[in-house]
Amino acid sequence: MIKSNYTGLRHGPINSFIRQDNMQQLNPFVMWDHFQLNSTQTEAGFDFHGHSGIAAITYVIHADLTHQDSQGNVTKLPTGSVQLLVAGAGALHKETLTSQDGHFEAFQLWTALPKNIEMGEARYQGVSSENLPIIKELNTSTKILVGEYAGIKSPISHIIDMNYYHITLSARGANWRYAPTPEQDSRFIYVLKGGISISGERVATQQLITIDNAAMLEIIAETDNSEFIFVSAASLAQPILPTGPSVHTSYENAQIGQQNIAQLLKTMMK
C-alpha cells in the first residue's frame, strides 16, 4: 500500500517535499510546500514573482489570502480557501497572508501542465472556503479542494485529472475508505495532525507518503481529531524539466517562458 515516504527539506518557514530526485515518481506533481510561520507581525507572503509551465494550487489553513497577478486579478480570500493559478506561457503573482494572531499556515501544490497547453494563456480562479463542499460521514469529513468525491465536485476547475481532499477523522478508530480511480495513478498522503494508519502501517505527521495502485484505500485514525491531505492525479506521459520557478517539457519552452516572465516584470516596473 505504502510505496515510499519523504521528509521535507526546510528553508525558513517552508518545508519542501518534492525535489528533482523524486519528481518523476510523483509526476504530475512537481512541488508540495508546507508554509508555517509564527510571527509578531500580522502580514507575511511573497512579492511579485513569475512562473511558466505549471499550475499552482494554494490552500490556506490559517490566515487570509490576498492574491494579485499579471492578468489583472486582485482577490481576497478567507482562511480555508483555495486558489488556482495556471501560469501557462508565463505569469506573475503576489501572495499576501494576513493573520491577526501572527500564525500563518498554507500549502502550495504545483502540477505540470500537459504538453499541448503548457504554453497557453494564464488564468486564475479563487474559491472562498464557504463555497468548498464538505462531505460528512460517520466520524469523518472530506473537504473537496479540487476534483470530485462521492459524486460532488469542487468549484475549482483544473486542466488535469486530479483530486485534492482535506480529511478530518474526529475520533480514534474512525475509518476513511476510498476507491481511487485507476487512471489517477500518482497518489500521496500528508498527515497534518494526530496520527493515522494505512493498512495497519502507522504514518508520522508531516511526511509525504506515496500510495500504490490498490483498489481500496483504508485509513484509520490512531488519535482523536486526526487530519490528513489526500492528493491523486493521472501521470503525464511527457518529459518533466524543472528550471527553478518553472517546469516544461523542453528547454526551448523553458527559455520562452523565462523571456515572457522577464517581459512581464519589465512592463510592471514601468
What does DSSP assign to residue 260? H
Q: What is the pLDDT of residues 93-110, one digit of tens each?
A: 999 999 999 999 999 999
pLDDT at 270: 67
Does 51 count as an annotated binding residue? yes
Does 34 count as an annotated binding residue? no
Point out the residues of the chain with pLDDT beneath 50. Answer: none
pLDDT at 214: 76
Q: What is the pLDDT of residues 111-163, one digit of tens each?
A: 999 999 999 999 999 999 999 999 999 999 999 999 999 999 999 999 999 99
Domain extent listing, the chain = 2-269
Measure Cα distances from 23 to 7, 32, 87, 188, 255 in Å. Answer: 14, 10, 19, 13, 21
What is the C-alpha to C-alpha distance for residues 226 and 228, in angstroms, rounded to an integer? 7
What is the C-alpha to C-alpha distance for residues 34 and 105, in angstroms, rounded to an integer? 7
In sign, the C-alpha dihedral spanning 191, 196, 199, 201 is positive
| Domain 2-269 superfamily per CATH | Jelly Rolls (2.60.120.10)
Other CB atoms within a 10 A radius of the CB of residue 170 amount to 15
pLDDT at 5: 84
Does 49 count as an annotated binding residue? yes
Amino acid at 210: T
Measure Cα distances from 265 to 83, 92, 120, 261, 269 in Å. Answer: 22, 8, 19, 6, 6
pLDDT at 152: 97
Does 248 count as an annotated binding residue? no
> Do 104 and 54 contact (CB within 8 A), yes or no?
no
What is the C-alpha to C-alpha distance for residues 196 and 68, in angstroms, rounded to an integer? 37
